[in-house]
Amino acid sequence: MKIDTVCIIDDDPICVYGTKILLNHNNFVSANILVYEDGYEALNSLTTLLKNGQKMPDIILLDLNMPVMNGWEFLDKFQKLTFSNIPKVYIVSSHFDAIEIEKGRSYEMVRDFISKPLIAKNLTDIISMGKIAS
């Protein structure tokens, strides 16, 4: 199964670069990879896509610790939007604890937590286990 669009929201350029390579070299994405450096930039851009009637990304890989607007602040605002297709959000972080996992589960669109660095198996698991299915 191919994914049309993946959105990466992460301020770490090395992480973003590695994720893009994994996505492209493993044929996980057939068309678009959207990249935003912080939650504020992502929220503005994705809101504009919605207003223009465009489809949301299939998957959002979301870092928690970012400047301007962190991952939690992004989720708080993003979940209030009205979607025709609800993106599957995966929180990607180098560190998360039980409290953060519990908090993440309170968001309907958050599917799972993935430890950095992202590896091809993480992406394969998302697809093969049907984790992108609604």
Residue 124 lies in a domain: no
Provide the number of structural domains found in the chain: 1
Residue 64 lies in a domain: yes
Q: Which residue has the tokens 């009205």?
A: 82
Residue 105 lies in a domain: yes
Mean local confidence (pLDDT), 41-70: 93
- Give this prediction's pTM: 0.89
Residue 126 lies in a domain: no
Residue 134 lies in a domain: no
Interval 71-115: pLDDT, tens: 999 999 999 998 888 899 999 988 788 888 889 999 999 998 988
In order, the DSSP letters of 32-95 are EEEEESSHHHHHHHHHHHHHTTPPPPSEEEE-S--SSS-HHHHHHHHTTS--SSPPEEEEEES-
Residue 130 lies in a domain: no
Average pLDDT, the chain: 86
Percent of the chain scoring above 90 in pLDDT: 49
CATH number for the domain spanning 84: value is 3.40.50.2300
Residue 132 lies in a domain: no
Print the domain residue range for 47: 3-118
Q: Is the pLDDT of residue 3 over 80?
A: no
Residue 40 lies in a domain: yes
